[in-house]
Structure 1
Amino acid sequence: MFSVKTKIIFGTTEEEISNLNLKGNGLLCTGRHHDFKFADLNLYHLKISPEPGVDDIYKYFDKIRDINFDYVLAIGGGSVLDTAKILSVMTNDTKVENLLGTDKIKGRTKTLIAVPTTHGSGSEVTKYAVLKFQNLKQTVVSDFIVPDYALIDENLAMNLPKDLTLYTSIDAFCHNIEAYLSKISEPLTDLNCENGMKFFFDGIDEAMENKISGRRKMLICSVLGGIAITNLRTNLIHALSHVIGAEKNVSHGLANALFLRGYLKFYKDDEKFKNLGKILNVDIIKRIGEIYEKYNAKRLGDFVAQSEIRHIAESTYENKRLLSVMKREISKEDIEKIIEEAM
């Protein structure tokens, strides 16, 4: 079944927020360096740090536990949006660690508006929030954290640093390709992903040149990727990146980018993957390699030693929730080879 629960709005932030006619008290979540003003709204402002953990969520909630909010407005990257999602369902009795996993949330009464300032996580339309806990990146999965509204404003992504532009864009591509190469994919999700990847290849160079046309294309790629993984889920790339992200404190987009090339080569003989190249009219593995070389993408060897490969493979192999939906069955030895490729 294919569904989109979030109302997706393209426009300028101030105008579209005004059009929502929000009433009452609001919680505004942004990144540490963002400062947005909405004259007609009564907002309490929380500034969110990157890569949140369960302990961070408790600290944020302690600041707002005595305030009643009618809505949550999140403007930022994936960490901000994920944090806001969790805060939107918390009460004084909530134990955040008990929300980890699937369908652990009972409901949400607050309106949730998500406004991405990067083009990678797709969190503005997903049922996922990723948190660090016990030295692992773990996921909250619930329809109750799907935002009511996603406001897409390419102006907010202008002037992103080049490394953030590259790795968030690749993150969005990973969402689309992993969902596409899932054994539970369907015709509509395939069409969704094909379009997402087309926007990536059409827009990545423009985005790296900070052209607004490229920002818009990458945001569309991100939204389509988010829709894809909410209907399906990610698989191997994210299983690997969750290990590296938690243990080495590598940002999510970069962690995904480290493993993309090995993942694509793992599927190089798959008929669906080969046909995708024809649909997109691109040699996918070659083009991704060119993008990495052109923009000097980092390699896994910048963060881990050769001696750590087996541990990373074993930890990744334990993530049955993600690996179980791979179109092609994978062994621990296969995972080690993909990690080797990333070095």
Structure 2
Amino acid sequence: MSVTTTPAATATEPTANRFGVGRLLREPLVGPLLALIIAVVIFSSISDSFLNPQNVSLILQQSVVVGILAVGQTLIILTAGIDLSIGAIAVFGTIVMAQLADASGPFVALLATLAVCVAFGAINGGLVTTLRLPPFIVTLGTFTAILAGTRLLAGSETYRVEPGLLTFLGTSFRIGSFSTTYGVVAMLLVYAVMWYALSQTAWGKHVYAVGGNPQAADLLGVKSGRVLLSVYIVTGLIAAIAAWAALGRIPNADPNAYQNANLETITAVVIGGTSLFGGRGGVGGTLVGMLIVAVLRNGLTQARVDSLYQNIATGILVIVAVAVDQFARRRSR
């Protein structure tokens, strides 16, 4: 006896698959974006002032320095590496700027900082590519050396920077009733430029290829060493921009500033869905991950939750994000 397939039988196909919802949920950015929306809804229901323009502006301004550094960290992690020195490079840059500003002028100080930070990035990249040392070990070593060098250079003193070019990114402006700073604009521009570079250029495709499968990338003719070196150099450039933004936030070059910046950038990248094993993720997810952490801290502060509990919540988020990444990798095999 033959069986005729009826329209009702074909309707048993999951609606999610027919409309691509299942595929959408597998995108690395979707999970973090949903988490951000849920966090905003929860905290806005707890506090009437959470979504006030002033508070939203405060959240963005407090995220500028770590947010910019997280772009560089994303590039490194996309290549299956990790950078423990990026925060220390930025702090070193602030000291260089502050010391050279009086002697040589702010423009020369800014250019010198750019050169120094790029040089540190090139050193990291050179050690990783030439000696084939693990990025964790290389950047742990340079972090220790740069941190000590910063304190020696500064003499453990804090340098005040006069208003002008070096503090420009801290200048505020208004868009209607919303007030923000040029530092926030600079941060968003860095994200936009790197999104374009990663998604629309051959260099970006090579970064993903090297992070996903370096052996296959070599077989396809990708110069893995050159790509890795370029990633570390670009990360140094981003650290210089973050140093400039840091002086805009607080016009003091402090050798002890941003002690946890390295961990905070890794947190934003991982929560944003970028895989620690390389080749998966992007700066869009990092931006969302950074906002999740900023919203969480701001919301819990408004709810009068102790900062130690805030750190516990952030740590749990990181563990959950890594667990989700592991699960996604196993499902894709």
TM-score by length of 1: 0.29
Q: Which of the pair has more CA radius of gyration?
A: 2
Q: Greater helix percent: which structure?
A: 2
TM-score by length of 2: 0.29
Larger relative contact order (Cα-Cα within 8 Å, sequence gap ≥ 6): 2
